[in-house]
Structure 1
């Protein structure tokens, strides 16, 4: 066992360590396996809850508001899928001691590496935009206009990261995201029919229309986000986890998947029992953050909007601060370019240029007038779902490569589940794209 045990990361879109390149180290004597388990388990649950960012809140709220309890079964399946994918990544990190970007660069031809990294960049770029849209939406609830809020947020975030001081404020943003635990209380106070909740959780109900398919793809994209796979493997490498002490990490992966999706399910239950029920079962299309905040009204009353805004602001700032810089690290590392916040513009032009571009893109798009906030966040989650198959098949290739993983490759049953997930996600993405393309030619296979 190692003499030094690094503390687990506590923020889930990406740790502040991604900004500095280092994690804090706690010195001490040899830890027992139970202490290691506690060190890995607790923060994993906090990280999972913080992962419900702007696009996640919008997607889960829309699932409940539009379709009631009918899509709860999706979250049950996604819990298993999320655990499977992240377990493969953590295992690769423990066996190889390398991040996913490094393995992709070392094991794929240059063109295929570029394709995978481009896919990753598109997915992350969409998430960065969604976080700035979330920031502006939250500030609008405090009556701060986007033309003031968006540029100020961009400047503050750029300055914090460039100065390496984001760690100091990250915990504040993380604390604000705990507001979303109010969904648990609000769901019970709304007194849903728990029989219908159970039915919706375990009996699949499918609507054959494009809106349902978009929401389904968005749910996949926001729950099993491509960037999370790169993050979780990097976290394992940073902590120096090996297969000798891997079991606690496996427990953390699956428990975090369960917990994060319980939070998501309660968001769906809460919006179902309030917004969907009040629509007479016809479903409500959420347009902005204020609509989503009304699901908390049974618990928070007239303060629901402002407390929801604080949580949304914290979750969005948390992701918007670390995700762009972490994206830049992954892309430049995969392409063998100079990187690091300690380097100047002259030393690492691609790194700082990409980082600044992502921030500016998020600021500019979030400032556009009359944005349909929830629809944009749904579409960006859907983008993640469309590009996810590329990342999944790259992971499956690497984790089954014996020269890389030795006897730690997937077993037959695990492989069947993993490939089944990749195929299903691929078919959903292809189906949605096909429907959209055919729609351009006036061919509508499904209703709206």
Structure 2
């Protein structure tokens, strides 16, 4: 009996040691741009896209698990494998696209920091530079273990959106109906929001970050069963939170015809219909999501680009050992913070456009991942199963079709 208890305690300890990359990567997808996109979906479409979140959870689990498995089997990041298997030209194109999209998304994170603290009467001219410096120092001076613990703590703040969802008192029968009965509107607005929702739920940068962090943490296939739980749990929790963000705005704002243009607008608009504390709950979640993603977005970009071109990377390195890694990280933070500080226009458009770009990129990154995870020479016995390939290819085809339809309706 004592031996069984010791073994159980040991297994829990191993899981807690490994816990992190999956939860952090998936939770960071619920960033400022993601929260704004989900809030717009709820306010403009009510419950009509809940079925998409439900189905995308299965796709997210598959995609995240593929990235995690590749990291554990090969000990390498995704961009490193793309360069090795597909050549420098393909890698350069992928990295240029990723960098461009991530500049826009990083900017949206600092917009989220500014918006969340403005709810507590703190000016963006104070919040943005202070948080940019704290985020920069955290990564520059911290170890992987320290940074990961901070990220997990900020992930927990996202649970406030579940509270906000219940506070909004949704019509649960309608919620159930729209969760299991798909609704599609054939117009530009619906399809653009749909592509943006795909882009923020299965963001390409999440796969780069997850695989790199697993390689950086030294997780191998020996302990992969624990990381698999972390990855699946992270995907489920992240999409439950997304579900409740849509619920809160759909229940409180849609019946009154209130449209929003930012997560801050959503927080303030909830107050008359949900209660005084709703903006506070919404603001806490927005702050946690924005800070975490403002650190992870530049980090994932630095990992990806350095791995792609063979430069040294990793949080446990000193600046002089991995200068390009830390310079890229710094540049992205400075660009994102400065755009928010010196521009009062178009930040909302940047947020939504960034998510739409991510949605367009999802099939491209997924095709790379499918080729890699089905390469028996690379993955050995850990190649994809038939069901993984089926779900992943359905996601690819569906997203491409969705993107094509979006452009068709956009230019009609």
Provide the TM-score with structure 1 as the length reference: 0.80
- 1:51 Cα deviation (Å)? 4.5
2:285 maps to which residue? 311
- 1:399 Cα deviation (Å)? 0.7
Structure 2 segments unaligned to the other structure (5+ residues): 1-5
Q: Say if 1:55 and 1:222, in contact at 8 Å, map to a contact too.
A: yes
> Are residue 399 (structure 1) and residue 373 (structure 2) matched?
yes
Q: Say if 2:306 and 2:325, in contact at 8 Å, map to a contact too.
A: yes
2:128 maps to which residue? 150
Among candidates 199, 205, 214, match of residue 177 of structure 2? 199
Give me the CA root mean square deviation.
3.2
Shift in alpha-carbon separation, 1:349–1:213, aligned structure 2, 3 A: same
- 1:435 Cα deviation (Å)? 4.7
Deviations 1:381-404 (A, max 9, x none): 112111222211111111111111
Task: Report which of the two has the higher share of helix.
Answer: 2
> Are residue 366 (structure 1) and residue 340 (structure 2) matched?
yes
- 1:60 Cα deviation (Å)? 1.3
Among candidates 99, 102, 110, match of residue 77 of structure 2? 99
Shift in alpha-carbon separation, 1:114–1:63, aligned structure 2, 3 A: same
Name the CA distance, whole Å, in 2 between partners of 1:46 and 1:67: 29
Provide the TM-score with structure 2 as the length reference: 0.86
Among candidates 388, 394, 403, match of residue 362 of structure 2? 388
- 1:46 Cα deviation (Å)? 7.2
Shift in alpha-carbon separation, 1:257–1:177, aligned structure 2, 3 A: closer
1:18 maps to which residue? none
1:301 maps to which residue? 275
Shift in alpha-carbon separation, 1:305–1:257, aligned structure 2, 3 A: same
Name the CA distance, whole Å, in 2 between partners of 1:167 and 1:410: 30
Bigger Cα displacement from structure 2, 427-436 vs 196-205: 427-436
Name the CA distance, whole Å, in 2 between partners of 1:246 and 1:175: 23
Name the CA distance, whole Å, in 1 between partners of 2:93 and 2:72: 26
Shift in alpha-carbon separation, 1:298–1:251, aligned structure 2, 3 A: farther
Corresponding residue pairs, total: 405
Among candidates 258, 261, 271, match of residue 239 of structure 2? 261
> Are residue 186 (structure 1) and residue 164 (structure 2) matched?
yes
SS at match of 1:367: helix
Structure 1 segments unaligned to the other structure (5+ residues): 1-27
Among candidates 319, 330, 345, match of residue 304 of structure 2? 330
Shift in alpha-carbon separation, 1:252–1:299, aligned structure 2, 3 A: farther
Q: Say if 1:64 and 1:271, in contact at 8 Å, map to a contact too.
A: yes
Shift in alpha-carbon separation, 1:435–1:278, aligned structure 2, 3 A: closer
